[in-house]
């Protein structure tokens, strides 16, 4: 009913930038919350950032001031702008969407920060 597709991952040097996209399709309510999570090797999946359809945002302390979450509600697409990337940002990044009483997950996109 709802599908999410992440894109924009890749290999970047420390200090570089990437922008991830999350395209949602299906039955999406006027109210929804889109979240970005990441999972590094050997670690649990953790919240990176979250944004509601009204524009309220939440960030993990580790990314405050470096990452910016946004969304285009008309296009049902979310974005995660990642600046000043560090090696510890290396992970698989997932978007999710809570809408119509259900939580949906994308397949993830790999982000690797290395020189």
Pairing of strands 18-26, 2-7: antiparallel
Residue among 19, 26, 30, 20 nearest 94 (CA): 20
Q: In whole angstroms, give the CA distance from residue 66 to residue 59.
A: 10
Report how far residue 4's alpha carbon sits from residue 72's, in angstroms, rounded to the nearest whole number: 14
> Which of helix, strand or coil describes residue 112?
strand
For the stretch 49-63, pLDDT in tens is: 999 999 999 999 999
Mean pLDDT of all residues belonging to the chain: 96
- pLDDT by residue (tens digit) across 18-53? 999 999 999 888 899 999 999 999 999 999 999 999
State the Cα–Cα distance between residues 88 and 85, nearest whole angstrom.
Answer: 8
């Amino acid at each position: 009913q709802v599908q999410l597709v992440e894109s924009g991952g890749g290999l970047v040097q420390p200090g570089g930038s990437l922008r991830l996209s999350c395209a949602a399709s299906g039955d999406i309510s006027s109210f929804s919350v889109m979240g970005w999570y990441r999972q590094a090797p050997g670690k649990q999946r953790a919240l990176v950032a979250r944004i509601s359809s009204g524009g309220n945002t939440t960030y993990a302390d580790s990314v405050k001031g470096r990452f910016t979450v946004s969304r285009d509600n008309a296009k049902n697409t979310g974005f995660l702008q990642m600046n000043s990337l560090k090696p510890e940002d290396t992970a698989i990044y997932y978007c999710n969407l809570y809408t119509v009483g259900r939580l949906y997950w994308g397949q993830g996109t790999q982000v690797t920060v290395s020189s």
